[in-house]
Amino acid sequence: MRVLIAEDQPLLRDGLTRMLTAYGFEVVVALDDGSQLTEALVEHRPDVSVIDVRLPPSFTDEGLRSVIAARTEVPGLPVLILSQYVEQLYARELLSDRAGGVGYLLKDRIGDVQQFIDALRQVAAGATVMDPEVVSQLLQQRSSLAVLTPRERDVLRLMAEGRSNAAIAADLTITEKSVSNHINALFAKLGLPPSADGHRRVLAVLAYLNQ
């Protein structure tokens, strides 16, 4: 599996390169700044990339902006953001991309190497992988649940309990189609755009749990 790395810290960049090579990945490019990142992603089209958010020259959000630009040219290009920071605006834009193949992990919260490797392979396969802390921070600025109707809140409460649509329908004595309609409505009110994977359901549930 071909991997591109963009990380400005030499020790971490070298460590990632050695670790991924040991696990059978081929590191095709290892960049230390963001100036050529978009071009490199589009040119090499790696099976997955590991990108830091804050890269030279400005150390702000080069990594995320470069990824979004590259995925505009190559939809679904798998990318795992590995950073100490949650950049709110561009993170939301990246994670709402319907194409999937996106991950966002915080460096200091990765428990072990195998966890990271598993996340990388999931992203390469087209899944969305998010650190719960990233989700929590993204939810902090979302609209209040007060905009939901009582029925929508009931549906969200049961979603938070891990119920399937069928189970929610049985509990509320309504049809599964009605449940689906309520879920789509509450997604819209919470500002969660359509997605090819299930991460907006997670975001909605966390909004309920964090109220």
Q: Could you read off the pLDDT of 183-195 as tens digits, one per residue? A: 989 888 887 766 5
Candidates 94, 102, 47; CA nearest to 68 is 94
Please work out, in degrees rounded to the nearest 5, the angle formed at the alpha carbon of residue 98 by the alpha carbons of 93 and 104: 55
Q: Could you read off the pLDDT of 51-75 as tens digits, one per residue? A: 999 999 888 888 988 999 999 999 9
* pLDDT over threshold 90, residue 145: no
CATH superfamily of 2-131: Response regulator (3.40.50.2300)
Q: Where do the CATH 1.10.10.10 domains begin and end in the chain?
A: 145-209
Percent residues over pLDDT 70 in the chain: 87
pTM: 0.68
- Going 171 to 173 to 179 to 182, the CA torsion angle's sign is negative
Q: Where do the CATH 3.40.50.2300 domains begin and end in the chain?
A: 2-131
Residues 27 and 20: beta-carbon distance below 8 Å: yes
**DSSP SS3 for 112:** coil
Strands (E), 112-206: 128-130
Q: State the CB neighbour count (10 A cutoff) for residue 150.
A: 7
Domain 145-209: CATH architecture, name and number where available: Orthogonal Bundle (1.10)
